Amino acid sequence: MNNQEIAGVLREIGEYLEMDDVPFKPRAYEKAAEVVSGMEEEVSEIYKKGGIRAIEEIPEVGISIAEKIEELIKTGKLKYYEQLKKKTPVDFPSFVGLEGLGPKSIKKLYKKLGIKNIKDLEKAAESGKIRKLEGFGKKSEEKILAGLKFVNRSKGRFLLGEALPLSETVKERLSSLAEVKKIIIAGSIRRRRDTVGDMDILVTSDNPKPIMDRFISLPEVARVLARGETKSSVKFKGGIDADLRIVKDSSYGAALNYFTGSKSHNVALRRIAMKEGWKLNEYGLFDKKGKQIAGKNEEELYKAFGMDYIEPELRENTGEIEAARAGKLPKLIRYGDLQGDLQVQTEWTDGTASIEEMAVRAAKLGLKYIAITDHTKRLAMAKGLDEKRLHDQGKEIGRVNSLLKKKGVKLTVLKGAECDVLKDGSLDLKNEALAKLDVVGVAIHSYFNLPAAEQTKRLKKAMSSPHADIVFHPTGRLINKRAPYEIDMDEIIAHAKKTKTALEADALPERLDLSDEHVRKCVEAGVRLSIDSDAHALAHLEFLPYGIAQARRGWAKKKDIVNAWPLEKMLNLLK
Ligand code: DGT
Ligand code: CA
Ligand code: CA
Ligand code: ZN
């Protein structure tokens, strides 16, 4: 039995006792559970070495709890706990994360409505049974429903676009502590996966205590899940969990490597170490005699393996280890490499800013060109442009360009459109109108449910238009909201190559469409990509790095990305 399992049983006993209004004891079990869950060494090991005496020496663990831990370790079971559970068979762990519902209320819900777990609770709350219960009422029911919503949300994965900014806030808050030497966000956030399960924070320090104290009392924290000397976990108010680990500076590289993952990248590295007779763990890389060969930083670690440094975005064990050994890693597009943005919406349709405002902001961000790509007429809800308004918009773009020139702003505004693809694959605007534009994006915004063959044919037809330069958000997915429409991506990629159409890596955090895997297929096929913000407001222009991240995860180089080229060359690359 490991520490988390032991802590789980102790925690539940505390809850059962509280349910029955037993004085003092519940808090004692709760405290013991907290200590055990935060311990580095396995309690079962401690017991193996020092017996029950050694367990009694654990802080907050008295003789009565020590005996129970002993029984758990020896038999894997605990009679006392089984009896409590038999008397009131509720599934406490299923209620974890639900605010404001204590053991006493859970007991009442069980006695009156037979509610045993969170699923039962959800059903009862949704059918209005809880409001009728004495001592609960309508307010409590609403609170429970709101809490359930939060729990359900916390179970899923979070958008990188939510997790990354939050992780940066947390990093900033902790950085101000004098005890913090280095601090870095590791895990899937560092690898820039499109979605994130939880946040992994790594700190180096010789004095962890004050850092842990601050971490668990950050204003963003909703609940402390586990607290230990060098490792703690919390749940943030937005629902995402975070792990903080504190190591010595000499282990920084090895710990960073370990906690960055991915797990399968780590396993592959460890396998190579074993073949050499070495040992790799979160503290370092050690030779046969146990001497540390590497671990201070990651560069040193990869070097010791005879590999080039592997960027975090590539660490998924999909060929990067072999490539790094052979010196054949791609030179990835860098975060500052984009010269332009080829999908920008304005207040002419469903955006919130004017062409001029978007242009000025984009220039501030260092871009040299943007394409204005408002929606077209079929999207009536978004005030989509018809040929006449598109023509008027062209004039306005001309005015803005001369204004920028006068002001000395070095940015060119291009004429474009996000032209709707109709059901039969034809385009929403007349060819004469499209011919006058610099950049034509084509996009599907309707009939998401067509069978794959028909959807593929539809998009291929749109791509065959001599005016279609880029396919915007090619799969139509909205992460956690809408599945991609069914389409044969291999066929689309082949057709993109044939028709010289670029495919977009849309950087909007809830799209990230194309995904990293699709980007990689495009790169391998030699299909050109554009990385665009899909901005509908000034702040959205700053989403570009999310798109670059997915492109890097897809092994894209600068030359694969059309808008990493200067304006003239980019225009030549388009049809
Ligand atoms: P996530 O949180 O699901 O988005 O994905 P990760 O990659 O952040 O995974 P997480 O938070 O479970 O663990 C963080 C890192 O710790 C992970 O990327 C690699 C490392 N790690 C976790 N569990 C294991 C393990 O069992 N073996 C090895 N070698 N590494 C692990
Ligand atoms: Ca994680
Ligand atoms: Ca984690
Ligand atoms: Zn769109």
Q: pLDDT tens-digit profile of 352-381?
A: 999 999 999 999 999 999 999 999 999 988
pLDDT of residue 242: 97
423-427: long-range contacts (C-beta < 8 A, 24 or more apart)? 423/447, 423/450, 423/458, 424/458, 424/461, 425/457, 425/458, 425/459, 425/460, 425/461, 425/462, 426/461, 426/462, 427/462, 427/465, 427/467, 427/468
Q: What is the pLDDT of residue 19?
A: 92
Distance CA 409, CA 393 (A): 20
Flag whether 509 is in a domain.
yes
User: How many independent structural domains does the chain possess?
Assistant: 4
**Residue 331 is assigned to a structural domain of this protein:** no
> How high is the pLDDT of residue 147?
84
Give the closest residue to 318 by CA, choosing from 262, 258, 272. 262
The answer to whether residues 240 and 286 belong to one domain is no
**166 confidence band (pLDDT: 50, 70, 90):** very high
113 in a structural domain:
no
Distances (CA, A) of 218 to 172, 230, 239, 257: 11, 17, 14, 26
Helix (H) / strand (E) element for 443: namely: strand 439-443
Distance between CA atoms of residues 250 and 285, nearest Å = 11
pLDDT (mean) for 556-567: 98
Residue 258 in contact with ligand 1 by CB distance below 6 A: yes
How close is the Cα of 442 to the center of ligand 2, in Å?
36
Q: Rounded to whole angstroms, how far apart are CA atoms 463 and 489? A: 13
> What mean pLDDT do residues 228-234 have?
93
One domain, residues 411 and 507: yes
Question: For 502-518, what is each residue's pLDDT tens digit?
Answer: 999 999 999 999 999 99
Same domain, 164 and 264: no
User: Residue 54: what residue type?
Assistant: A
| Structure confidence at residue 151 (pLDDT) | 78
**CB-based contact 533:543 (threshold 8 Å):** yes
**pLDDT of 156:** 82
Tens digit of pLDDT for each residue in 466-503?
999 999 999 999 998 888 999 999 999 999 999 999 99
Give the long-range contacts of residues 130-135, CB within 8 A, separation 24 or more: 133/108, 133/109, 135/108
Instruction: Specify the pLDDT at position 372.
Output: 98
Report which protein residue has its CA nearest ligand 1's atom 27.
263
- Same domain flag for 559 and 522: yes
Output the CA torsion sign for 496, 497, 500, 504: positive
Report if residue 335 sits inside a domain.
no
Give the environment of ion ligand 3: residues with CB less than 5 A: 198, 200, 243
Angle (CA) 501-502-505 rounded to 5° is: 150
Q: Three-class SS of residue 288?
A: coil
At which of 298, 325, 352 does a domain end? 325
Beta-ladder partners of 421: 427
DSSP strand pairing (340-344 vs 292-294): unpaired
Q: Pick the atom of ligand 1 nearest to 196's CA.
A: 4
At 12-25, the pLDDT tens digits run: 999 999 999 999 99
Q: Does residue 51 lie within any of the structural domains?
A: yes
Show the tokens assigned to 233.
Answer: 């976990």
> 428 and 517: one domain?
yes
User: Residues whose CB is under 5 A from ligand 4 (ion)?
Assistant: 443
* CATH number of domain containing 217: 3.30.460.10
Is the distance from the beta carbon of residue 523 to the nearest atom of ligand 1 less than 6 Å?
no
Q: pLDDT per residue over 440-460, tens digit each?
A: 999 999 999 999 999 999 999
Alpha-helical regions (H) of 76-185: 79-87, 103-113, 118-126, 137-155, 160-175
198 lines ligand 1 (CB under 6 A): yes
CA distance linking residue 459 with residue 446, whole number of Å: 12
Q: For residue 243, which atom of ligand 1 is closest to its CA?
A: 11
**Ligand 1: residue whose CA is nearest its atom 30:** 263
Q: For residues 458 and 567, what is the distance between their CA atoms, to the nearest angstrom?
A: 30
Nearest residue by C-alpha to atom 8 in ligand 1: 187
CATH number of 39's domain: 1.10.150.110
Contact between 519 and 486 (Cβ < 8 Å):
no
Domain boundary among 193, 215, 247: 247
Lowest mean pLDDT among 109-118, 148-157, 359-368, 547-556: 148-157
Q: Do the bridges between strand 439-443 and strand 412-420 make them parallel or antiparallel, or are there none, so unpaired? A: parallel
For a mutational test of ligand 1's pocket, the pick from 155, 266, 267, 298, i.e. the residue with the most ligand atoms closer than 8 A to its C-beta, is 266
Q: Quick one: which atom of ligand 1 is closest to the CA of 188?
A: 8
Ligand 1 atom with minimal separation from the 193 CA: 4
Q: What CATH code is carried by the domain that includes residue 293?
A: 3.30.210.10
Residue 67: inside a domain: yes
Residue 200: CB within 6 Å of ligand 1? Answer: yes
Q: Please check whether residues 499 and 376 belong to one and the same domain.
A: yes
Which helix H or strand E contains 51, and what residues bound it? helix 43-56
Mark whether 292 and 349 lie in a shared domain.
Answer: no
From 223, 247, 271, give the residue that closes a domain: 247
Say if ligand 1 is within 6 A of residue 194 CB: no
Q: How many CB atoms lie within 10 A of CB 572?
A: 9
CA 471 – ligand 4 centroid, Å: 10
| Cβ of 205 below 6 Å from ligand 1 | no
| 99 part of a folded domain | no
- State how far the Cα of 371 lies from the Cα of 345, in Å rounded to an integer: 9
Ligand nearest to the CA of 259: 1
Q: Look at 74-83, 148-157, 226-235, 536-545 and tell me which has the smallest mean pLDDT.
A: 148-157
Return the structure tokens found at 529.
């990509």
pLDDT of residue 154: 67
What is the rounded average pLDDT of the residues 37-50? Answer: 90
CA atoms within a 13 Å half-sphere pointing along the CA-CB vector of 376: 23
Do 446 and 315 share a structural domain? no
Ligand 1: does its nearest atom lie under 6 Å from the Cβ of 351? Answer: no
Residue 530 CB–ligand 1 contact under 6 Å: no
359 by Cβ neighbours in 10 Å (0-12 / 13-18 / 19+) ranks as buried
- Give the mean model confidence (pLDDT) for residues 130-152: 87
When pLDDT is averaged across residues 223-247 and rounded to a whole number, the result is: 92
Residue 153 confidence class, pLDDT cut points 50, 70, 90: confident
Q: In sequence order, which ranges of 223-262 are alpha helices (DSSP H)?
A: 252-260
* Nearest protein CA to atom 9 of ligand 1, as residue: 187
Q: Is the same domain home to 200 and 313?
A: no
Is the domain of 505 the same as that of 559? yes
Altogether, the residues listed in the chain come to a count of 575
Cα maximum dimension of the chain: 88
**b/e burial code for range 545-556 (CB count within 10 A of at least 16 → b):** bbbbbbbbbbbb
Alpha-carbon distance of 478 to 482, in angstroms, equals 5
Q: Is residue 440 part of a domain?
A: yes
User: Which has the closest alpha carbon to 462: 427, 432, 494?
Assistant: 427
* pLDDT value of residue 499: 98
In this structure, the answer to whether residues 354 and 503 fall within a common structural domain is yes
**Between 187 and 145, residue with greater pLDDT:** 187
Is the model's pLDDT at 150 over the cut of 80?
A: no
Q: What is the dihedral of CA 246, 185, 330, 509, to 10 degrees?
A: 160
Distances in Å between the alpha carbon of 461 and those of 328, 465, 467, 519, 575?
37, 7, 12, 21, 15
Q: Please report, rounded to a whole number, the percentage of residues in the chain having pLDDT higher than 70.
A: 100
CATH assignment of the domain containing 436: 3.20.20.140
Domain that holds residue 49: 3-87
Quote the CA–CA distance of 261 and 265 in Å, as a whole number: 6
Mean residue pLDDT of the chain comes to 95
Q: Which ligand has the shortest distance to the CA of 317?
A: 1
**Residue 32: pLDDT above 70?**
yes
Note whether 367 and 218 are same-domain residues.
no
What is the pLDDT confidence band of residue 170, given thresholds at 50, 70 and 90? Answer: very high
